[in-house]
Amino acid sequence: MNLQQNLIIYIIFMPYHIFSYNISPVPNYVFKPPNIPTFMEQQESSLFGYSLTLKKNSILIGAPKAQTHLASQRRVNETGGLYKCNFENGACEPFIVDIYGNTVVEDTRFAYNSEKKDFQLLGYTMDGLSSDNSKFVVCAPKLKANLEHHYLLHGACYWTSSENDNTKINRIASLRARDQQVKTIEKHNVYFNMYGQQGFSVHITENSEEILMGAPGIYNWKGSVIRYRPRQKQKKTKFGQLDNNRNNGIEYVSEIINPMFIGISEDSYLGYAVTSAYFAGGDSYRLLYAASAPQANDQVGKVFIFDFVEVQNNFVRDKTMKIYREFESQQMGEYFGYSLLAEDINNDGYPDLLIGAPMHSKNSYFESGAVYIYLNTGKLTFELQILLTSDYLFGGRFGTSMSKLGDLNQDGYNDVAIGAPMEGNGVVYIYHGSAQGLMSKPSQKVLPSGSQIPTKFPGLMFGHSISTGVDIDSNGYNDIAIGAPYGEEVFIYKTYPIVQISATIITDKKEIGKNDTRFQTTACWRLFSSTTNITHDLEFNILLKADTKHGRAKWINNNKFYELNVTINNQVQCHEFDVAVFFNIVDIFKPIEIEMEYRLVNQLINSTQFCDKCVVLHENSVESVRTSVVFSTGCKSSMCIADLRIKSSLSGSRLPYILGSTRTLAVKYDVENFGETAYLAQIKITLSNVTSFAKVPSNCKMDEDEMICDLESGNPLFPQQKSKLIVNIDTSRLSGKQLVIKAEAFSNGEEANFDDNKIINVMELIEYSEIEIQGHSSMTQFAIEDPLSDPTITHELEIINQGPSTIRDLSVMIFIPTRYLNEKKDIKIFNRSDLMVEVRYKDSLIPVTWYHENKLLEDNLNDDSSTLSPDSDLEIAEDEFDIVTSKNEESKFNERRRRSISGELGQLQQQRHQTILDELPFNRTIHFNCRDNYVEEYSCMQIYFNVNNVQAVGKDVIKVKINYLLQLNALNQVFDEHLDIFAMQPLLMLTTNVGDNDDDKNVMTYKITEENLPVTIVFKHFNKEFALWIYIVAILAGLLVLIIMSLILYKCGFFKRQVKEELERLTQNENYTSYSNNIDDDEKY
């Protein structure tokens, strides 16, 4: 498949949305290894593109695992290779630097000369100058000296003063001296040059005369740096003295730093990366060097700026480092110094230093990578400007490679490229320099768009190698090459010129009288670039608009719009247009808006065929200009003097503002005029936070980060008149601690007092969320006699953020007891291999960390061979979990921000709700949990995980599934005659992290509104359910007994009310006696 066909494939599979600035969004050349027969079959990737050097008309590409096509090397396996690819015909051919195979020659008493070149990694590193016919060097760091019983891993490099002539290849093999292989130092034998690996890193110095090579294996891998440079040949006179008066020619010497004199430990890997620069800056012509030792200082890593100096060692002159500056990393194991780059990024005349640390981790889980940006402030002093990281958190290894690009956007500051080859298929980020240093956000993200190359490896490793910027098409802008060694491809991206358009539109009248019927508008435009002289014409589209809102003006075509295509170049061009005016007294105070929109057309920058006449507009370019004409007014002078005063208030929200509580935030502004009429009164509003306005009102427009609004819709603001404006701010991306809103009122006239025209509102922002926890057990309760075998119990938990805020960083610790311990018993209830925990959020599996008895489990939990790390203590993790027992949970803003669900591991859970546990008899129940954290009766397992950006009130919840295999035989041993109920329950702790300041720790960020933790209860004796007929017989028997007892009581007089009957009898007797007496009295009368 030829080059053109390859490019067609890239276009077909290229994603449509590619973020781009002036580097071509698609590769303009794609190079692959040539299809050349080799003597041994290529078993895996040749790593074509592992290193590269871009030249003006070609590119040199390293493939350190390639097989050879040379007959002289037919018995050598994976010699590695070097290829030269030309831009003119797109062809790649091998570039031969060594024609010999494995050699066996007689070793001299001074050096080992036999060589074994299998797996030597030729092409692993290279460097070269950008111009054709210039110096170039390539290395094979694993070339070995072949001895009878073992190998000497010396490495070697090859260089030439012109890559156009590979017949003049020079070889650098600095580590072959016999007496330097193994040395006895302080009565101990050390591997000195034996495993030096010369050429592990290589760099041609800034003066283009020296070659700097890293040899990290010297002296038991303390490491060293080798300087290879020319010097005048020194010959002695017949009297044995050096003859310095005669020109004896040039010779090249290798100077090796002796690590004995450097205060670094073994296995530091000094020379892992090397570079050079005139770090002293100014008028200094002193070249200094930089080298990294990423494993020094107990794997913290160091980088040195140094010079080579002589030292006397046992009557022998040796070389050591004079260290001018040391740099240390902020994180152990991040491989600080994996890559180095010296470049003046703020244009102050002092080279700055960029140090890559691709194993840097933001979240302690993934090697996301980072780059330390040190600004050189002069006199070899450096300040850390920024620790630069990418937004990709999952092992992208940002900072693996770095490269100088020159000034890509022609703003006067050098730019750099930084590779993240493990971010998907790989990414290269472009960063622009500035007066303050390197920009914190990339200007462009270059992707290997559309690559369809199959590979055994995860990703293409696009960006593992990046060339320096070279202008290969002479358009004044540097182009770059990017390697993808796992895909065996190299991509060439050209760069388009950046231009700006200077456009103006003016009118011949500033004011229009009542009797005016027309005025003249002049539109001018010009294309300009700070570096490129645009001599050819480009097609330019213009759209003129006249008073589109009110229709009081029209162009010569009797329309509000007038469109035409013209040409634009580096010369100023102007056109005049007549505008007809239709006066209306109602709109006398409304200005007539004249606007010109413009754009370049037919810019085919998405094509693989580079468009030589295409340009890219500057990122800060505007695409329209406007002016306005007002009608004459009646102010005292030609310019009205207004006196605007501004006030503001928050509408519909309370302070402090809770993030996420509303979709928008409304701010109301009142502007009142205490002076003369204000024409074109406006207000300018600026937001400090990374947010935007929810919508731009019709009377407003955006100007970069500012919103400018016309007050009273462009009508004049009369004396003592008040204008109101409500601005809605989009809170969806609002973050941080405060939002600063600046507003300024102004008009097109003069202002009597500017002090009251501005107002600044500082709004405090806080996070607050309500969390709900729901749990479920697959077996809530059962008797120990029920299961036929050991049951598997599943506890499921759902952690739900009910809002309003997004929880940016939620940490969860789950506590599970595994053993029952007391004075008499030590019983393992669960095997560690019987515990399984799965955590998911948004259908993604969340990694968990296991601890047992406060010790980190290094191996998989389900492997009984898991061991404990004596240096990993859970107390460090638990410091992040602030256990709160306060009962005042209604306060949202005065309690501590880190809350525990279990509150001293259980107390808070007891306070919040009643569960089935409350129904169990206390003196018979074993509560098998980790409630008090360090209860002596239980041995607990802890599971820790972290979830970022837990969204509020969404369908996505954190789901936790815990599977236990319950050992019934073990559980039966726990029961005794007094304790016959076993209640098992996991417990949780939560923390949210919003900041590292002490003030942040006094802000509550969440409240738990509901929790229901799963529980499983096991009974030693549990009565079975009775059959229905037993209940029926029992009821009938009870009724029969009741009837019999009632009859017996009746017979015994139980139901007779003797007292009542006696009272009734006495009452009747009294009535009878009274009646008889009355009759007797009547008879007497």
Q: State pLDDT tens for residues 106-165.
A: 777 788 988 999 999 999 999 998 888 889 999 999 999 877 778 899 999 999 988 777
**Residue 415 DSSP code:** E
**Residue 318 DSSP code:** E
Domain shared by 748 and 803, yes or no: no
- Residue owning tokens 């509550």: 1004
Distance CA 288, CA 324 (A): 9
552 falls in which pLDDT band (50, 70, 90)? confident
- Residue owning tokens 């991509």: 491
Q: What is the pLDDT of residues 1024-1037, one digit of tens each?
A: 554 566 678 888 88
Q: What is the pLDDT of residues 987-1001, one digit of tens each?
A: 888 887 765 555 554
Q: What CATH number corresponds to the domain at position 665?
A: 2.60.40.1510
Distance CA 160, CA 138 (A): 9
The domain boundary residue, chosen from 567, 596, 631: 631
Q: Which two tokens stand for residue 24?
A: 């071509």
Query: Does residue 905 sit within a domain?
Result: no
Domain shared by 757 and 772, yes or no: no
Residue range(s) defining the domain that contains residue 609: 498-631
Greater confidence (326 vs 1045) lies with: 326
Domain shared by 443 and 369, yes or no: yes
List of residues 6+ apart from 596 with CB closer than 8 A: 503, 505, 523, 542, 543, 544, 545, 624, 625, 626
Is the separation of the CB atoms in 876 and 855 below 8 Å? Answer: no
Is the separation of the CB atoms in 62 and 126 below 8 Å? Answer: yes
The domain boundary residue, chosen from 611, 631, 651: 631
Query: Does residue 170 sit within a domain?
Result: yes
Q: What is the pLDDT of residues 290-306, one digit of tens each?
A: 999 999 999 999 999 99
Side chain identity at residue 617, one-letter code: L
List of residues 6+ apart from 593 with CB closer than 8 A: 545, 546, 547, 548, 549, 626, 627, 628
Q: Is the pLDDT of residue 502 over 80?
A: yes
Distance CA 859, CA 15 (A): 41
Domain shared by 592 and 713, yes or no: no
Distance CA 66, CA 123 (A): 9
Q: What is the pLDDT of residues 642-666, one digit of tens each?
A: 899 999 988 767 788 888 888 888 8
Domain shared by 792 and 846, yes or no: yes
Is the separation of the CB atoms in 662 and 729 below 8 Å? Answer: no
Q: Is the pLDDT of residue 493 over 90?
A: yes
Is the separation of the CB atoms in 215 and 200 below 8 Å? Answer: yes
Q: What CATH number corresponds to the domain at position 1033?
A: 2.60.40.1530
Distance CA 1011, CA 953 (A): 17
Domain shared by 277 and 307, yes or no: yes
Average pLDDT over residues 806-832: 82
Average pLDDT over residues 1049-1058: 74
**Strand-pair partners of 983:** 927, 1017
Give me the percent of the chain exceeding a pLDDT of 90: 36
The domain boundary residue, chosen from 600, 631, 662: 631
Domain shared by 101 and 232, yes or no: yes
Based on the structure, what is the number of domains in the chain?
Answer: 4
| End-to-end alpha carbon distance in the chain | 155
| Per-residue confidence (pLDDT) for residue 94, from 0 to 100 | 94
Nearest alpha carbon to residue 1015 among 934, 919, 937, 881: 919
Distance CA 766, CA 303 (A): 41
Domain shared by 308 and 449, yes or no: yes
Q: Which two tokens stand for residue 371?
A: 């780059």
DSSP sequence for 947-987: EEEE-SSSS--EEEEEEEE--HHHHHHH--SS--EEEE--E
Q: What CATH number corresponds to the domain at position 453?
A: 2.130.10.130
Is the separation of the CB atoms in 575 and 568 below 8 Å? Answer: no
Query: Does residue 892 sit within a domain?
Result: no
Domain shared by 258 and 320, yes or no: yes
Domain shared by 670 and 791, yes or no: no
Query: Does residue 998 sit within a domain?
Result: yes
640 falls in which pLDDT band (50, 70, 90)? confident
Query: Does residue 901 sit within a domain?
Result: no
Q: Which two tokens stand for residue 629?
A: 């004409």
- Residue owning tokens 């809102």: 549
Query: Does residue 1063 sit within a domain?
Result: no
Tell me the helices (H) and strands (E) count for the chain, helix number first.
8, 76
Nearest alpha carbon to residue 164 among 128, 120, 211, 207: 128
